[in-house]
Amino acid sequence: MRNRINIAIDGLSGCGKSTLAKALARHLQYKYIDTGAMYRAITWYFLGHNIDAQQLDVIQRHLPLMDIDFRNENGDNKAYLNGIALNDELNTPEVSAHVSEFAVIADIRYKLVALQQKMGAEKGVVMDGRDIGTVVLPLADLKIFVICDDNVRAMRRYRELHARNIETTIEEVKANLISRDKIDSSRTIGPLSMAEDAILLDNSYFTPEEQLEFVLNRINQLKH
């Protein structure tokens, strides 16, 4: 398209939102913003400082000291927290087990949503998360809501973790995904929900290439 657009991708945990968003950003030569990585970075930081989600006063004191940005390295956006590059640290079982606990905290959400909206101020952004189409980029030109069968997404996440030599079981992964869905959907601020103008994508039996084609077809329809 001649005019660059903003694309919001929301959906359940472990359903391949990031895989789709990354592929889409590469294809369109857009900037990719992984908001999930931002919440994971926050979680990693607090866990590393032995701060739990109940210590709200301590969290409030630390938030102004934290800066998160993304840098393009060899065609891939990497998350940086206070200048520290984060990769596998963000996907450990410990971070996965606690990220939803920190993500429901109002001060954390306000801080990260403000950062995300600033990143999306210029067109040409693909952003994925849980409240992008409803809260962060409510005026996004295209909104996609991704769902996937519980067993399928658990297997996908398990294989991803196994490839990174992170030990866990499929049962543990599935339980974590379902638990995160419940927490994310029931929180007061920015709950996981499908925007009224979003397009539903069930990618349970889609290949990565097929789901990319699905969204590209929707983008082409915006021309008409």
Residue 119: HSE in the Cβ half-sphere, 13 Å Cα cutoff: 25
DSSP letter string, 78-98: EEEETTEEESGGGGSHHHHHH
| Tokens read off for 2 | 């001649």
82-103 as b/e, with b when 16 or more CB fall inside 10 Å? eeeebeebbbbeebbbbbbebb
**Residue-wise pLDDT tens digits, 46-60:** 999 999 999 999 999
Domain 6-221 class in CATH: alpha beta
Domain boundaries, the chain: 6-221
DSSP letter string, 43-77: HHHHHHTT--TT-HHHHHHHGGG--EEEEEETTEE
**Residue-wise pLDDT tens digits, 170-212:** 999 999 999 988 888 888 888 889 999 999 999 999 999 999 9
Handedness of CA 124, 10, 147, 160 (dihedral sign): positive
Label residue 2 by pLDDT band (50, 70, 90): low
The reported pTM is 0.86
CA distance 137 to 118: 10
CB 132 within 8 A of CB 9: yes
CB 10 within 8 A of CB 66: no
